[in-house]
């Protein structure tokens, strides 16, 4: 064999291997929902609640207490206080965890509890934690923290590189849980007072639904380590502590990837009066767009808040604009948050259902990433979240049909380009 032919074969084989890996990463893991849901019931129909439990997996449990935490000044102290009070176990799964001031505070608190004998399990997405110093990870391990980095690039897992854990779950002693949109990085500090401090919401939960949150954490811990976390230190008896019906459920391309997509479609389809959506990243698929438009056309007031000029992904922003004309024509109200990056992920339907967690309103969250959400069906809690949404709406600039038609030419070009890769956003 000539040297030239050898190199041709070698390069061709390498390119074929790379192409195969890319195809495996970008193909959906399971069959996606293709047809719109039939509207069998309203959100106030008992069947809506039954269907949420049956179709999404875990049942809706009574007796929970959920507290809203706004921005870093409320979120981080509450999480750190719970960590420092842990007596038996801490399970913590997150996407963003960086070596900045707040990252160091969390690492110090986790390490201290591990040295005190608390079993601390930390699941970090490899990509999301790339800005974390290896020395900080080593210090955690030395203190006794069990650290796992989800889908670290290794040759036998190259086909899974595109699948990240985007879940944001913290459970203390199996009794207190946290979820929402916040990552462990300094831009989440403060109170969204300027463009360097992001607007976000997190939630603290007590009651029987915390056991479901622990089970979601256990899902990825088992996949990564082969170890099952069980027993009363992780799953204690959880008596009622409040009056909120709640459910924690998950989605993953390795099983149940359509659960999150299905939940949003069910909620939008059942809406009678109002849909308020806070969407940090808004690039929905065709089916979700049609479902939103149909809701608006039947008289549901649909409002969506998205980031404005402050956003950490210009590509997402460009792709999002592709479907705005259809939504505006159907009567959907769109607004861009002005003061800073808007990272809130929340859905409020008919002053009843509130769904919060890690999920973005895009294909990556619906079918590629591992996600987890908390659903609460409680009118008083929903009214509280609506009031927060109203406050955010007042700080947002509504998108009008006229202004959108007059947008700069370069926005039209970038939208066209970004739309080519919207399935990966």
| Active-site residue set | 166, 168, 173, 343, 345, 350
- CA-nearest of 67, 61, 56 to 380 is 67
By the 10 Å C-beta count (0-12 exposed, 13-18 middle, 19+ buried), 166 is classed as buried
Taking alpha carbons only, the member of 61, 382, 363 closest to residue 215 is: 61
Selection from 102, 159, 99, 171 nearest residue 128 by Cα: 99
Contact 97, 183 (CB under 8 A): yes
What is the rounded CA–CA span in Å between residue 13 and residue 415?
Answer: 35
Phi-psi region of 117 (alpha: psi -120 to 50; beta: other; left: phi over 0): left
Q: Coil, helix or strand for 131?
A: coil
Handedness of CA 158, 163, 169, 171 (dihedral sign): negative
Residues in the chain: 425
CA 207 to chain centre: 22
Picking from 93, 83, 129, the residue whose alpha carbon sits closest to that of residue 250 is 93
Residue with tokens 């300027």: 194
Shortest CA distance to 329 belongs to which of 281, 289, 284, 287? 289
Q: Going by C-beta distance under 8 Å and a sequence separation of 6 or more, which residues neighbour residue 213? A: 169, 171, 177, 179, 205, 248, 372, 374
């Amino acid at each position: 064999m000539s040297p030239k032919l050898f190199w041709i074969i070698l390069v061709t084989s390498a390119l074929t291997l790379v192409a195969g890996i890319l195809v495996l990463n970008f193909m959906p893991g399971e069959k996606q929902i293709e047809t719109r849901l039939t509207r069998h019931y309203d959100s106030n129909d008992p069947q809506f609640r039954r269907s949420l439990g049956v179709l999404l997996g875990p049942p809706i449990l009574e007796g929970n207490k959920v507290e809203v935490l706004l921005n870093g000044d409320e979120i981080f102290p509450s999480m750190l206080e719970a960590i420092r009070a842990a007596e038996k176990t801490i399970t913590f799964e997150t996407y963003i965890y960086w070596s900045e001031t707040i990252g160091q505070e969390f690492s110090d608190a986790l390490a201290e509890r591990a040295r005190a004998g608390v079993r601390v399990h930390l699941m970090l997405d490899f990509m999301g934690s790339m800005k974390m110093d290896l020395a900080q990870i080593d210090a955690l391990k030395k203190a006794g923290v069990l650290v796992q980095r989800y889908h670290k690039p290794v040759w036998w897992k190259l086909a899974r590189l595109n699948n990240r854990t985007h879940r944001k779950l913290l459970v203390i002693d199996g009794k207190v849980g946290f979820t929402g949109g916040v990552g462990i990085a300094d831009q989440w500090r403060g109170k969204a007072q300027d463009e360097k401090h992001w607007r976000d919401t997190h939630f603290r939960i007590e009651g029987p639904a915390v056991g479901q949150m622990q089970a979601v954490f256990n899902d990825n811990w088992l996949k990564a380590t082969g170890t099952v976390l069980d027993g009363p230190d992780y799953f204690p008896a959880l008596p009622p502590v409040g009056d909120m019906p709640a459910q924690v459920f998950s989605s993953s391309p390795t099983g149940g990837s359509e659960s999150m997509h299905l939940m949003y479609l069910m909620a939008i389809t059942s809406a009678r009066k109002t849909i308020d959506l806070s969407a940090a990243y808004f690039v929905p698929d065709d089916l979700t767009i049609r479902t939103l438009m149909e809701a608006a056309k039947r008289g549901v007031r649909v409002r969506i808040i998205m980031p404005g000029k402050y956003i950490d992904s210009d590509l997402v922003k460009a792709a999002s604009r592709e479907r705005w004309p259809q939504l505006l024509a159907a009567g959907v109200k769109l607004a861009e948050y002005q003061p800073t990056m808007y990272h809130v992920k929340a859905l409020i339907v008919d002053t009843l259902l509130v769904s919060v967690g890690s999920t973005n309103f895009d294909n990556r969250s619906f079918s590629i990433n591992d996600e987890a959400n908390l659903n609460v069906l409680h009118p008083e809690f929903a009214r509280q979240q609506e009031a927060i949404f109203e406050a955010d709406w007042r700080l947002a600039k509504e998108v009008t049909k006229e202004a959108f038609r007059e947008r700069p030419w370069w926005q039209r070009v970038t939208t066209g380009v970004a739309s080519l890769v919207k399935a990966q956003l």
